[in-house]
Chain A
Amino acid sequence: MPLAVVLALTLAFLPPPAPGDNLRTESRSPHLHRIPLRDADGQFIPPPAALNEQGTSQEVRANPYSPAQTCGRCHEYEMIGGGWHFNSAKASVNPGRPGEPWILTDTATHTQLPLSYRGWPGTFKPSEIGLTDFDFVTTFARHLPGGGVGEPAKGKIDAKDARMRRLLVTGTMEIDCLICHEMSGHYDHVARFRAMNVENIRWAPSVGAGLGTLGAGRTAKSIADFWKPAGPPPANLPMLKYDRTKLDAENHVTFDVTRKPSANNCYYCHTSDSQIGDARWHSDRDVHIRGGMSCVECHRNGVDHMVVRGYEGETKDRQVSAAMVELRAKLILRDDATISEADARGCAEQQLKDEMSLAETFSCRGCHYGSDAAKDTAAQLGGRLGAPKPLHKGLPPVHLEKLACTACHSGPFPTNAPQIVHTSRAHKLGLPAPVRTANTPPVIVQPVFLRGQDGRIAPHKMVWPSYWGQLKAGKVTPMLPAEVSRKAKEDLPSQSPEEVARDPYYTKPLTNRQIRDVLGALSGDSPNGQPVFVAAGRLFRLVNGKLASEEHDAARPYAWALAHDVRPASQALGARGCSDCHSDDSPVYFAKVTSRGPVESKNRTAREMWAFRGDDRTLASIFAFTFKFRPMLKYIGFASALIVLGVLLSYGFAGLHTWLGHHKHQQDKP
């Protein structure tokens, strides 16, 4: 009794939770984060002692910790929530250069749909295909760091929406700071994924951090399935069973965190490798990482967590929004008692603009050459972090205008066809699963050399969307896999248990007959449009009962620029000379890109790289052909120049000799 009373009295006299404790160390030395845990209501979590008053062991169960309330005590959680990893659904945020989408993959219906809230051309917004924010969050929770659409304000959760109201039971998906900032390597992504899978969303950060476990009790999902918003709040929600060894005598937890996460943390969501399967051991990884750098050396961010994406022209894509000024002004006012509100706003805007200009210095070019866009003189000079200034001896400067640095230095060395690449987010890397092979959907290839928004050629990753949909007025609206399965259950091919064991990702392509049958089954829903199947760059539909296919805008591949792994200069494209690109078999122009998708190979289309860029094949071929004569051109040029110089020198010396003789003759005259 005395302990409980003391604790209760202590809590009663504690000041109410403030929005933030505003404490800073301002040192380069990392601060030891030995801190108390708080739950979603901001209350301290004092898990019961391992032994009760009678001295017998008891379960240490309590509410899960809340990163927003625990970390947000000292860190600007609201401002962090506007960062690049969390702001995809904010309409005010410029989407910038198209990036990697989330790919909704369903093996049973052979669906692979690129999704993004950012509205990148070629992707679908979840709402466009009837996917609620809740569905999106739970589908991709395995690699979502939280925040954004997963964390709507409490009052903004629509209780009438059968899907969204589940968040009232499962808890919102707060930003899980430890996913990135934990540095011991003990963050348990698998445990977090399992918790997310059963919609134990609120508990997932605690489970991932290893603070405790949930056991095999009821899950939030099972409770949410039956909970009606009209009824009382569910009282039987799971309690976290804390690992007492993680808490000290004062119920504080020591978080091993870092401001600068290691590359391993980033790799959980950002692994991208063409060395797949057992060939992984061949991968040299990025030359910068090998040199001892970490991802965040270049992909930096301030407290606003607007991580630098690192491409040229990024500064133009990042605008200083009113919300950013507002938040920064708040910080300035907090830290400077003498400043007026108006001055704080002006100061905030200037600070943000100056910082924005620095973003450009973290692109390849900005770091290695410097950037005039930067206000800072040192940044203008380049060489940040000791980045060597490239010599590029023998490379005509026009190449630097026409090519992104990544064209020669990034991704796998190009060959006569792009390679398959697996990425964390597309292939659920980081989570245990049967061996992912080259055919594991979604099939993504790299490098495909396309022109970026700035007109420069850069290597890209490419994926062909694959989905069942409805064509109406020339526009295809995708159908969700569940809807397709429901309507065409009988006609969708399925695997026997033996086949599942052998081909867990169901990579067997659909035959034309199977496509025809499914389209036939879906055709009952004709008011919404004609059923179609989009795959491998083609649109399939029934014309007079027969399957027909055509190239269609809806089937166009989605591509996004790649920048890693960066290869060393000795392995750059062009290291062997001009013919790396200017030859009649150069991959940059003539590599064959075959569309990929769950259809028979006869339905796939193949194009050479130049076609994707709209280049002229004849020009490229003839230009490459002229390089056979390049040595001759040099010989002729140098020989001609030597002759001209010889004549110049010969006549020059002769003239000088004559002039000197004439001059001497004049002097010798009496």
Chain B
Amino acid sequence: MSKMTGMTDRIPQTTVRRSLLTSANQRKLAYALMLLGTIVLAVTGLGTFVLRKPSMSGWVLMLHASAAPLFAVGLALVALTWAGHSRLGAAGSPRERATNLVFWLMLASGAVVILSGLVPMTPLFGTSGQHVVVSVHFYSAMLVTASVALHLLSLAASR
């Protein structure tokens, strides 16, 4: 986490747009929440797939569902605190532009993964629709995991 502190502090302040939560600590906390949620969700969710289990169940499912709000809240806070720092534009180095692009990809896929995780709990879709939603959840989860990892790596690289 200390490494990440360094990373977030190095974001060029010239591009910062004033947002609701802007202090560095709040940004770090938000990112940490999201990261923790992502790790648990990835291990439980993608782990089930890697281990070729037909579907998540038992303690694993419960852990997955428990980490989900952590990720959702973390992502929302990251969106509020980091968006201003990560605007896409001509300014900044190509690496910074790539980092920002990954950030927005992370937000977009994160929103999809949250919604596709929640929609099966609502009476909006029938079985076939639910199967589609579950597939969307699976692929968007892979995307969000990859984008979080990439974002983290690019932040680390920019130190």
Contact = CB atoms under 8 A, between A and B. Distances in A.
B118 interface: yes
B123 interface: yes
Contacts of A626: 62, 65-66
A171 B8 CA distance: 95
Contacts of B104: 648, 651
B83 A647 contact: yes
A644 interface: yes
Contact of B115 (A397, A622, A641): A641
A115 B131 CA distance: 44
B11 interface: no
Interface in B51-110: 54-59, 61-62, 65-66, 68-69, 72-73, 75-76, 79-80, 83, 87-89, 104, 107-108, 110
B57 A644 contact: no
B76 A643 contact: yes
Q: Is the interface of B mostly helix, strand, loop or mixed?
A: helix
Contacts of B73: 636, 640
Nearest to A651: B83
Among A619, A622, A640, residue most surrounded by chain B Cβ atoms (within 10 Å): A640
A558 B65 CA distance: 37
Contacts of B107: 644, 647-648
Contacts of B29: none
Given A626-B65, A640-B75, A640-B76, A645 B111 contact: yes
Contact of A647 (B56, B79, B134): B79
B24 to A, nearest CB: 19
B13 interface: no
B58 A391 contact: no
Contact of A393 (B68, B72, B125): B125
A338 to B, nearest CB: 47
Contact of B111 (A390, A401, A633, A641): A641
B3 to A, nearest CB: 25
| Interface size range on B against A | 35 or more
Contact of B118 (A395, A397, A398, A637): A637
Contacts of B76: 639-641, 643-644
A397 B133 CA distance: 10
Interface residues of A, number: 34
Contacts of B72: 636-637, 640-641
Contacts of A640: 69, 72-73, 75-76, 114
B124 interface: yes
B23 interface: no
B2 interface: no
A432 interface: no
Contacts of A655: 87-89
Contact of B69 (A398, A619, A623, A636): A636
Nearest to A632: B69
Contacts of B61: 623
B121 interface: yes
Contacts of B62: 619, 622-623, 626
B14 interface: no
Nearest to A645: B111
Interface in B116-131: 117-118, 120-127, 130-131
Nearest to B78: A644
A626 B58 CA distance: 12
Interface in A596-644: 616, 619, 622-623, 626, 630, 633-634, 636-641, 643-644
B127 A641 contact: no
Contact of B55 (A398, A619, A633): A398
Contact of A400 (B66, B123, B127): B127
B58 A393 contact: no
Among B66, B75, B108, B130, residue most surrounded by chain A Cβ atoms (within 10 Å): B130
Contacts of B122: 394, 634
A401 B48 CA distance: 15
Interface of A: 390-398, 400-402, 616, 619, 622-623, 626, 630, 633-634, 636-641, 643-645, 647-648, 651, 655, 658
